[in-house]
Structure 1
Amino acid sequence: MRLSSADGATVELRPTRYQFDLAEVSAGARDWDANWLVLDGAIRLADGRAWAFTDPSLTTFEARQLTVWLRDVIDGRVDPAPVIGGSDDEADAGRLRTFLEPSLAFSLAARDGQRVRLRVHLSLEALPPWHQDPDGPDRPRFFEYAVELDTTIAALAEAATTWETEITNFPVR
Structure 2
Amino acid sequence: MRITGRDGVVFELRPVEWQFPAGTGYWDDLWLIVEGRVDLGERSWSFRDPALTITNARWLAYWLRQAAAGQVAPIDAEDTGGHGRRGIIFSEPALSFTLLERRQGEATVRAHFYAEAAPPWLNAGGGASVGLDVDFVLDLDQLTRAADEWTRDLDELPPRQQP
Same fold (TM over 0.5): yes
1:81 equivalent to 2:72? Answer no
- State whether residues 5 and 136 of structure 2, in contact with CA within 8 Å, keep that contact through their aligned partners in structure 1: yes
- State whether residues 119 and 132 of structure 2, in contact with CA within 8 Å, keep that contact through their aligned partners in structure 1: no
Match of 1:54 in 2: 48
- State whether residues 31 and 52 of structure 2, in contact with CA within 8 Å, keep that contact through their aligned partners in structure 1: yes
SS in 2 for 1:61: helix
Match of 1:123 in 2: 114
Q: Unaligned stretches of 5+ in structure 1?
A: none
Q: Letter of the aligned partner of 2:34 in structure 1?
A: L
Q: Letter of the aligned partner of 2:18 in structure 1?
A: Y
Match of 2:2 in 1: 2
Match of 2:141 in 1: 154
Q: Letter of the aligned partner of 1:77 in structure 2?
A: Q
Match of 1:165 in 2: 152
Aligned equivalents of 1:108, 1:10: Cα separation in 2: 17
Displacement, 1:168? 1.1
TM-score, length-scaled by structure 2: 0.88
TM-score, length-scaled by structure 1: 0.84
Q: Letter of the aligned partner of 1:115 in structure 2?
A: E
Aligned equivalents of 2:7, 2:29: Cα separation in 1: 39
Aligned equivalents of 1:105, 1:134: Cα separation in 2: 24
Q: Unaligned stretches of 5+ in structure 2?
A: none
Aligned equivalents of 2:65, 2:145: Cα separation in 1: 10
Aligned equivalents of 1:72, 1:133: Cα separation in 2: 37
1:96-107 correspondence runs (5 A)? 96-107=87-98
Equivalent pairs, count: 159
- State whether residues 18 and 36 of structure 1, in contact with CA within 8 Å, keep that contact through their aligned partners in structure 2: yes
SS in 2 for 1:34: helix
Aligned equivalents of 1:122, 1:6: Cα separation in 2: 20
Aligned equivalents of 1:15, 1:153: Cα separation in 2: 23
Q: Letter of the aligned partner of 1:153 in structure 2?
A: L
Q: CA RMSD for the aligned pairs?
A: 2.1
The one-character-per-residue Cα deviations of 1:88-109 (angstroms, maximum 9, x if unpaired) are 8xxx76x410001000000001
Aligned equivalents of 1:133, 1:163: Cα separation in 2: 31
Identity %: 35
Q: Letter of the aligned partner of 1:130 in structure 2?
A: W
4+ residue runs of structure 1 moved beyond 2 angstroms? 84-88, 132-137, 169-173
Match of 1:40 in 2: 35
Q: Letter of the aligned partner of 1:50 in structure 2?
A: S
Aligned equivalents of 1:154, 1:12: Cα separation in 2: 17
